[in-house]
Amino acid sequence: MSKKLRFGLVGCGIISELHAKAIAEAEQAELVAVFDPVAASMDKFVERWPAIKCSSLEELLSRDDIDIVSVLTPSALHTDVGIEVAKHKKHVIVEKPIDIDYKRAKKLCEVCEENGVQLAVTLQHHYDDAAIAGKAAIEAGELGTVNIGASHNIWWRAPLYFDSAPWRGKWDKNGGGTLIMQAIHYIDLMLYMMGDVDTVTGYWATRSHNIEVEDVAAAAIKFKSGALGLIEATTAAYPGLPASLTVGGDKGTFIIENDEIKTWILESGKSWEEFLPPLAPGEERIPASYFDIQTPVWSMSSLAHRKQYVSICDDILNGRPVGLTGRDALKVLKLILAVYESGRTGQPIKMDEWDG
């Protein structure tokens, strides 16, 4: 393998811009080729990000100058495409969620393992300074007994958002609405901070949009630690509020808002910066950036994506497991699907007894 990971990219929709920026900004990454069944999308993409256009997935996967493939298709296709990538002995990155079906997602993990390739999922906010500091403080015992975690995504999406792509707002294409498409990042961070879930009870509804899937949801959680948690998610609250995560313990509390530390209070008096790894010579801390859906995606910050891509490249090139695996991503998918199941049945879901 070369000193760089050579990337293929499948799917040239709106999110591909962030991935292309991250690849371009990562010294150990190089974009080689792309494929999208919609030729106009691929043509538009390569105008901004020069790459070889492939006429089929097989053509891209047959290239011997590609080491790893980013799968940026609609969510329901992640497993099918990811399995083909793995069978061609190339490493796999999939955009969140790992899939919309838990059993299919597990199969993707298994096939990657059988073929000796690594599987990463872009849950990039693990790499934000705010998340790094929060996790380190919890592990250091600085919050004491952690008692509450709450994920809040009180957002607004205009009808134009759902009209912008035929797969938006569909159960069979997206697997759900605001929970699996928007709130997943902060639900994932809540799990990262709070640990495994024992039981969840959820409710969801479609209130303000002409879509199949939910635009509002809420859930109550009991973690295996005994702590409790909350999920609030909507795309039906005009004009929308910042996404946030609250984690509270008997010796400290912090709030992450739009990927930055908003509130940080520890009994010890330590600052959140004290829990970050030291900077390399000449490196500066770059604040995370947040833009709403009206902002062109290519002007959004790719910092978190770049940090995850840098980590993935460094791990693979040095023979280490990637830091955020497909198995890790199964946890947040299963929890979200359990909220849907609880909402359908009106019953709490015991996570260890439910097979997804």
pLDDT digits (tens, 9 = 90+) for 222-263: 999 999 999 999 999 999 999 999 999 999 999 999 999 999
Band (pLDDT 50/70/90 cuts) for residue 293 is: very low
Res 307 pLDDT > 70: yes
Can you tell me the distance from the alpha carbon of 327 to that of 39, in angstroms, rounded to the nearest whole number?
33
Find the mean pLDDT for residues 97-101.
97
Res 295 pLDDT > 90: no
Any idea how long the chain is?
Answer: 356
pLDDT recorded at residue 6? 98
| Alpha-carbon separation of residue 285 from 85, 243, 278, 288 (angstroms) | 35, 22, 10, 9
How do beta strands 216-223 and 197-205 pair? antiparallel
Residue with more model confidence, 150 or 295: 150
**Comma-separated ranges of CATH 3.30.360.10 domains in the chain:** 128-278+332-350
CB neighbour class for 47 (10 Å; exposed up to 12, middle 13-18, buried from 19): exposed
Res 287 pLDDT > 90: no
Find the mean pLDDT for residues 29-34.
98
Mean pLDDT check: name the lowest of 18-27, 162-171, 238-247: 162-171
Can you tell me the distance from the alpha carbon of 231 to that of 249, in angstroms, rounded to the nearest whole number?
18
pLDDT recorded at residue 43? 97
pLDDT recorded at residue 192? 98
pLDDT recorded at residue 165? 79
pLDDT recorded at residue 202? 98
Question: Reduced to 3 states, what is the DSSP secondary structure of residue 172?
Answer: helix
Q: Residue holding tokens 């946030």? A: 244
Global pTM reads 0.93
**Comma-separated ranges of CATH 3.40.50.720 domains in the chain:** 5-122+319-324
Q: Residue holding tokens 């984690």? A: 247
DSSP one-letter code for 49 = S
| Alpha-carbon separation of residue 181 from 23, 105, 235 (angstroms) | 23, 16, 10
Can you tell me the distance from the alpha carbon of 186 to that of 61, in angstroms, rounded to the nearest whole number?
33
Find the mean pLDDT for residues 135-153.
98
Homologous superfamily, domain 5-122+319-324: NAD(P)-binding Rossmann-like Domain (3.40.50.720)
- Does the 128-278+332-350 domain belong in CATH 3.30.360.10? yes
Considering only the C-alpha atoms of the chain, give the largest distance between any 2 of them, rounded to a whole number of Å.
Answer: 59
Neighbours of 335 (CB within 10 A): 26
Band (pLDDT 50/70/90 cuts) for residue 279 is: confident
Res 298 pLDDT > 50: no
Question: Reduced to 3 states, what is the DSSP secondary structure of residue 295?
Answer: coil
> In this prediction, what percent of the chain has a pLDDT beyond 70?
94
Contacts of the segment 293-301: beta carbons below 8 A, 24+ positions apart: 293/157, 293/158, 293/161, 297/14, 297/15, 297/17, 297/18, 298/17, 298/21, 298/48, 300/18
Can you tell me the distance from the alpha carbon of 163 to that of 179, in angstroms, rounded to the nearest whole number?
19
Res 291 pLDDT > 50: no
E strands in the chain: 5-10, 29-35, 52-53, 68-71, 91-95, 119-122, 146-154, 197-205, 216-223, 228-234, 244-249, 252-257, 260-266, 349-350
pLDDT recorded at residue 131? 97
Q: Are 68 and 316 in contact (CB under 8 A)?
A: yes
Band (pLDDT 50/70/90 cuts) for residue 294 is: very low
Question: Reduced to 3 states, what is the DSSP secondary structure of residue 348?
Answer: coil
Can you tell me the distance from the alpha carbon of 252 to that of 244, in angstroms, rounded to the nearest whole number?
17
Band (pLDDT 50/70/90 cuts) for residue 301 is: low
Q: What is the mean pLDDT of the chain?
A: 93
